[in-house]
Every structure is written in C-alpha cells, then in structure tokens.
Homo-oligomer: A and B are copies of this chain.
Amino acid sequence: MTTLEKDLETRLAEDHHQAIKLWLRLLTCTNLITGKIRSRLRENFATTLPRFDLLAQLERHPEGLRMGELSQRMMVTTGNVTGIADQLEAEGLVRRESDPKDRRSVVLRLTPKGREVFSAMAKVHEGWVIEFFEGLSPEEKDTLYALLGRLKQHLNGRRNP
C-alpha cells in the first residue's frame, strides 16, 4: 500500500469517525437541554414537555389545529396526540371542536384558561432557553442556526426517508 492510499484511507476513516462524533455530540446537547426543561417544567409547573409542546403549538395557531397537524408539528404519532389531548382536555386547558367541513376531523383549541396557564409558563420557559444558549455569542448562534438549517434541509431531502 502506497503512502497516498494510506492517507486517503486514513482521511476517510477520520471523516467517518467525524460524522459519528458529531452525531453523538448533537444528541448529547439535545438530551441535556430536554432533560433540564423536563425537570424544570415538573418542578415549577407540575407539567411535562409533551403537554407544554402541545399547548405551545396551539398558542401559535389560535384558529385551532387538527390532530394530524398537531402530530406533524410535534413530530409524534397521532395516537400519541390523542392521549395528551385527552389529559389537557380533562384539565380544561384545550377543547375539542368538530370541523363542520369534515366530520372525521377534530380541531383542538386553547381554552381561555389554557391560554392563561400557557402564557405564564412560556415566559419562564423562554428565559431558560436563552440561558442554555448564552454560552454562545449572537454570531455563533447565527452560525449554528444556519448549519442546522442546512442539516435539516438535507435530512428532509427527497428519497431520504
């Protein structure tokens, strides 16, 4: 084996190792943050991340969202959304409304109480997230945001399920 071949092979192996290391670090960062948010939501508001997430989606869409739309935005199955919506409905934070145009559909909306409860949590939650990322300068955050954007685009590319 020539020196050139060895170099190529080494570089390739390093690139492969690089992707794995990058993935593990990405996963670690996400796990660290979700872990912190999860425990703080529990301690401060006696709620959970998926519940918070569902309310956050509805907050952004006052016109309401169907179960399928919610599941896409939350990146979970519709069966999962059904269960979380059941809880929040029982707690009076969301309301199921039937879509007159399509009787299969259920439209979920925040109740006034849900809007009130969520907005109190959202303010605090935003502060946590700012805190988690304040180790990076605004420029670094921009760069990270852009790189993740390229990654996301690649991951969502066609023939890439």
Contacts and interface: CB of A to CB of B under 8 A. Distances in A.
Interface of A: 15-16, 18-23, 25-36, 75, 126, 129-130, 132-136, 138, 140-145, 147-157, 161
A34 B27 contact: yes
Given A23-B133, A26-B30, A34-B27, A147 B150 contact: no
Nearest to A31: B75
B148 A25 contact: yes
Contact of A140 (B23, B35, B36, B147): B147
Interface residue SS majority, chain A: helix
Contact of A132 (B133, B145, B154): B154
A141 to B, nearest CB: 6
Contacts of A33: 23, 26-27, 155
B155 A132 contact: yes
B135 A29 contact: no
A52 to B, nearest CB: 13
A125 to B, nearest CB: 9
Q: Top 8 closest A-B pairs, CB basis? A: A135-B154, A30-B30, A32-B155, A19-B133, A19-B130, A144-B147, A25-B148, A31-B75
